[in-house]
Structure 1
Amino acid sequence: MTDQSAAESTTPVSLELWSDLVCPWCWISKRRIEAAIAAFERPHDVTLRMRSYELDPQVPVGEGLGVAEHLGRKYGGGVEGGRLMNAHVSDVAVGDGLSFDWHTAVRANTFDGHRLCALALEMGGPALQSAAYERFHAAHFSEGLAIDDHEVLQRLSAEAGLDERRVAAVLAGSDYADDVRGDEELARSMGVTSVPFLLANGRAALTGARSVDDYLALLRGVVTEGG
């Protein structure tokens, strides 16, 4: 698995990343995978597709409960205890150029957000889908916005580059629900019970947020083994 053999390979790499919009390790993982792709010998031969996964589909839409408060209630320690639970991931995120504000982050149902990410994939391919994920992640983790509020989603989607009329139509109906459910069913069929989960060329997988070097090694391994 050498840099040279990876450079000489003609094998394309298709990456699929199952993640949730309110999962901090998913955002970290996405950024590290993108860094690995940039460092890869043939970055233009790699595509990254985001796939939907809901960590808690039962979160009531519009609940608006602070993440720290929720964790404090669930595990004890109150709001401050909830913030302390997330201190480690916040420290890690800084190294990946990300900022988490647990004082303002609120719980949200992510189903509609995932539907809009599916719309983004159809409208503009992986690049637009990535932009939507980034905007929704930042809104949740850094800006304290409720990403299950339709007005918020409408604005964030426009900022990410999606067509406003298409977004409004999706939010008013059930379009792309099957896409979200399909991603989740595919994950279940592979035994996936947590995210982030990365699949390369349909066979090589990594679970959890790994280092950039780990993701780069996966890329090189897939192409040198012929896909």
Structure 2
Amino acid sequence: MKIDIWSDIACPWCYIGLTRFERALASFEHRDGVEVTLHSFQLDPSLPDAYDGTETQYLAQRKGMPEATVRQMFGQVAQAAASEGLTMDFDSLAVANSRRAHRLLHAAASVSPAIAWELKRSLFKAHFTDGESISDADVLVRLATGVGLDEGVARAALEDEALDAEVAGDIDAARSMGISGVPFFVLHEKYGISGAQPFEVFTQAIAQVWDEAHPKPAFETLTIPGLKQDATGPACGPEGCD
């Protein structure tokens, strides 16, 4: 079964949502049969590599909201993150364009999906917890090599036009499907789940779609005189015969 996930590193609900999803998948008995692909999305492609201001100032200006309202919103998000064991420090967060980081994620995915997942976690933590810039080349290369990506591959990926085209392709694909917010999860190329849903929702959705993709054989009932519908006849099995 395939699961495709669109998200942005600069999205706090993506950090929370992917954490909940990953926990749900880890508890699924058929997890080894699930293929997960990470896709890029940018909430604000127009951001400079480094924004001269705080996250509160940036969102207040972009959304036209009072800073007090933005800080209240951050408090609610940080509380939801804490329930998943995540720390979000919006006061120290470095507002930056995520495009380079997305190129790096595509480079990591071409090497190993597992490395891409590890890098995604590292990028989220660097951005929301450690106050590091996700557009800074040295930071990105350090995070990439920390999860096993070759340093030369990582540094070359940051400005790679082919990788940038892949990022653009992900964003275009999201737009064509009507995805306007992230995180967004597509299960078995058929079902969409929007937002950082509770762990239980992801657990039930994964199991339900798996069962649909792997239906158990169904047998029609015969109507024959003398055939009891509520019982079986003598038979043999692994433990012996009746």
TM-score, shorter chain, exceeding 0.5: yes
CA 39–203 in structure 1, closer or farther in 2 if over 3 Å, else same: same
- Match among 202, 205, 211 for residue 189 of structure 2: 202
Do residues 113 (structure 1) and 101 (structure 2) align? yes
Offset of residue 60 of structure 1: 1.0
User: Which residue identity is paired with 2:50?
Assistant: G
Give the alignment's TM-score, normalised by structure 2. 0.83
2:210 match: 223
Secondary structure at the aligned position of 2:134 is classed as coil
1:143 match: 130
1:183-224 Cα distance to aligned partner (Å, 9 max, x none): 111111111111010001101110011011111111111122
- Where structure 2 has 5 or more consecutive residues not aligned to the other structure, the ranges are 215-242
Secondary structure at the aligned position of 2:213 is classed as coil
**Bigger Rg, structure 1 or 2:** 2
1:120-179 Cα distance to aligned partner (Å, 9 max, x none): 00011x211101111111010001111111122111211222110011112244240111
Q: For the residues of structure 1 that align with 2:129 and 2:14, how far apart are their CA atoms?
A: 15
CA 144–64 in structure 1, closer or farther in 2 if over 3 Å, else same: farther
Do residues 132 (structure 1) and 119 (structure 2) align? yes
Does the aligned pair in 1 maintain the 2:47–2:97 contact within 8 Å?
yes
What is the alpha-carbon root mean square deviation over aligned residues? 1.5
Offset of residue 63 of structure 1: 2.2
1:46-90 Cα distance to aligned partner (Å, 9 max, x none): 222110000000001122432122123443444x55332211010
Secondary structure at the aligned position of 2:161 is classed as coil
Q: For the residues of structure 2 that align with 1:181 and 1:76, how far apart are their CA atoms?
A: 30
Does the aligned pair in 1 maintain the 2:8–2:14 contact within 8 Å?
yes
Larger RCO, structures 1/2 (Cα 8 Å, 6+ apart): 1
Secondary structure at the aligned position of 1:16 is classed as strand
1:33 match: 21
Percent pairwise identity: 31
2:178 match: 191
Does the aligned pair in 1 maintain the 2:55–2:95 contact within 8 Å?
yes
Do residues 24 (structure 1) and 2 (structure 2) align? no
CA 165–92 in structure 1, closer or farther in 2 if over 3 Å, else same: same
Give the alignment's TM-score, normalised by structure 1. 0.89
Secondary structure at the aligned position of 2:196 is classed as coil
Bigger proportion of residues as helix? 1
Do residues 212 (structure 1) and 199 (structure 2) align? yes
CA 121–83 in structure 1, closer or farther in 2 if over 3 Å, else same: same
- Where structure 1 has 5 or more consecutive residues not aligned to the other structure, the ranges are 1-12
